Amino acid sequence: MLIVRPAMPTDLDDLMELAILSGPGFTSLPEDADVLSERLETSKQSFSGELPWEEAWYTLMLEDGDTGDVDGIGGVKATVGLKRPFFSFRLVNNITQSPSLGVKMNHQTLVLVNECAGWSEVGSLFLKADRRRGGAGRLLAQSRYMLMGTQPDMFAENVLAELRGVFTPDGACPFWDHVAHKFFPMDFDDADRMTGSTDKQFILDLAPRHPIYVELLPEPARAVIGKVHPQGVPAMALLESEGFRPNGLVDIFDAGPTVACGRDNIRTVRDARPLKVQIGQDIQADLPALISTDSLARFRAVRVKADLHPETVTITADAAAALKVKAGDTVRVKV
């Protein structure tokens, strides 16, 4: 049985393995033991309520309940852009026309913005290659929304997700090479690391002050603006199934798209309902249900077959043990 549970400081080795496997451009998973250790401590303090709600960053691990192997990660930031700016490029259409010549033109530009301050962010979704089938990705992705649904007032009304932009098979990033690198004279990996570990003042110091005209960029850069890394296509599909849509923002380094949705309009947040636990062995349901605890501090989630009733849900003893709940406890259920 696959279980989604809070990350703990003891997960550092597994988290480092996932960071190495994730490859370039995965800003929230740098190959830096100190940064990852700090993230795990932040997550522990977030789940225990030791941090102000707006500083919380919840990290979830996908664990094989039979072997104890950690096969994936997902995360939710309660807010972004409050202590450190959350920079993006906005794609802006500028219409120019000359009535005397009968000419009308649409010039698209990239403009540096900080529009999402105070929004929540879902991200860090990554699974080992052999887990990217059989519903594991959907379980991990939806668990983030089940977490938000346990206590919606601990998260913002607007939620965003950034998707990694396009990289070539040899690890090159066309948008970085042709555009961003002109303003940030460093390696992509260094800029990526500094984005996650500094106050981002270097971006404010060096980023372009004026709009960048897209049609003046080399074709390899134009072609990838707003496009998703091949490994991110399934994640994009999962986000779209929940109601997320592109909002016209792209990453300033790799031009990957940003998608957004209102918290209460996210399908899993909206449709999951609280039910009381009953424990039984003869489950009649044909299809599994997504079930999580109704507690943010003790959050766990699984996808198992369950019999649903108006006020209760019947699950097996094994499922109850995985969730660490007992008969009479409240869980949240999404079918």
Assigned token pair, 313: 């849900």
Assigned token pair, 138: 């959907």
Are residues 294 and 240 in contact, defined by beta-carbon separation less than 8 angstroms? no
Burial of 23 (0-12, 13-18, 19+ CB in 10 A): middle
Are residues 260 and 158 in contact, defined by beta-carbon separation less than 8 angstroms? yes
For 254: left if phi > 0, alpha if psi spans -120 to 50, otherwise beta; the answer is alpha
Distance of CA 217 to the CA centre of its chain: 29
How far apart (Å, rounded) are the C-alpha atoms in residues 192 and 204?
A: 15
Sign of the dihedral through C-alpha 179, 22, 164, 122:
negative
Of the candidates 158, 150, 167, 144, which has an alpha carbon nearest to the alpha carbon of residue 235?
Answer: 144
Annotated catalytic residues are 229
Assigned token pair, 140: 């991990």
DSSP string of 322-333, one letter each residue:
HHT--TT-EEEE
Please tell me what DSSP assigns to residue 22: H
